[in-house]
């Protein structure tokens, strides 16, 4: 029985992430901690929290996605499997896309599922639960792909985590703008939900189309 190499890679990534040392669930725990410390910083005023709740959830998702990405290619670089991926027939761009998809399934998808629950803690209106979840569902794949560019550029560095965040966060600002305005649209009467949401969809689609090429180029150049 033979499987396509990309499907095999996808399953391998998920399996590795669930093992000890994979750190698959760490993103959600970090997300929870960020959401927990924010009310301590700004005070437990429920009106204020429900107003800025979507923004808090988005910033927490942004940070927990990016900080979990530094190992995306580094572990493969250390044990030599990255060299195999570079040498094999399957295009590196597709491999990158599959690796990002697997990484998103393990780290991004749990954030989307957990977001309504955490929204409850931030006293969000019931109407905006689905708006936050939908905007995160559409936006987090683009965050993973953008972060993969930073992770690929810092693949050979011993401590690339902070540098990855410095390199990638400026590029993630458009996603944050449209993500938060879509997430906050359900509670505010001024902005419609669909306009920022569709722009967010467009940004994610262009990230899926363009980012794998940048990541693959970075991996080729960096691991020479």
Judged by beta carbon, residue 89 or residue 224, the one nearer other proteins is 224
> Which among 79-87, 111-119, 122-130, 211-219 is the span making contact with other proteins, rule CB under 8 A?
211-219
218 near other proteins, judged by CB under 8 A = yes
CA angle in degrees (0–180, nearest 5) for 83-84-87: 85
Judged by beta carbon, residue 100 or residue 153, the one nearer other proteins is 153
Q: What's the CA gap between 210 and 223, in Å, rounded? A: 21
221 near other proteins, judged by CB under 8 A = yes
> Which among 126-134, 136-144, 147-155, 181-189 is the span making contact with other proteins, rule CB under 8 A?
147-155
Cβ partners under 8 Å of residue 122, min gap 6: 35, 38, 39, 49, 50, 53, 56, 57
What separation in angstroms does the CA of 46 have from each of 84, 117, 121?
53, 16, 10
Count residues contacting other proteins (CB under 8 A)? 18
Among 171, 176, 201, 208, the residue binding other proteins under the rule CB under 8 A is 171
Burial (CB count within 10 angstroms: exposed 0-12, middle 13-18, buried 19+), residue 84 = exposed
Binding stretches for other proteins (CB under 8 A):
149, 153-154, 156-157, 163, 166-167, 169-171, 173, 214, 217-218, 221-222, 224
């Amino acid at each position: 029985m033979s499987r396509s190499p990309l499907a095999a890679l996808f399953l391998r990534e998920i399996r590795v992430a669930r093992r000890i040392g994979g750190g698959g669930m760490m993103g959600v725990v970090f997300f929870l901690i960020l959401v927990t410390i924010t009310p301590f910083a700004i005070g437990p005023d429920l009106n204020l929290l429900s107003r800025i709740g979507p923004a808090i959830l988005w910033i927490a998702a942004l940070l927990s996605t990016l900080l979990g990405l530094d190992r995306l290619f580094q572990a493969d670089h250390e044990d030599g499997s990255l060299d195999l991926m570079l040498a094999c027939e399957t295009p590196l761009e597709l491999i990158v896309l599959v690796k990002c998809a697997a990484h998103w399934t393990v780290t991004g998808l749990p954030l989307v599922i957990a977001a309504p629950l955490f929204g409850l803690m931030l006293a969000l209106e019931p109407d905006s639960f689905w708006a936050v979840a939908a905007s995160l569902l559409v936006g987090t794949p683009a965050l993973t792909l953008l972060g993969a560019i930073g992770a690929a550029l810092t693949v050979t560095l011993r401590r690339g985590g902070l540098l990855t965040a410095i390199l990638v966060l400026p590029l993630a600002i458009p996603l944050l703008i449209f993500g938060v305005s879509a997430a906050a649209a359900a509670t505010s009467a001024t902005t419609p939900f669909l306009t920022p949401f569709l722009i967010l969809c467009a940004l994610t689609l262009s990230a899926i189309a363009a980012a794998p090429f940048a990541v693959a180029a970075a991996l080729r150049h960096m691991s020479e």
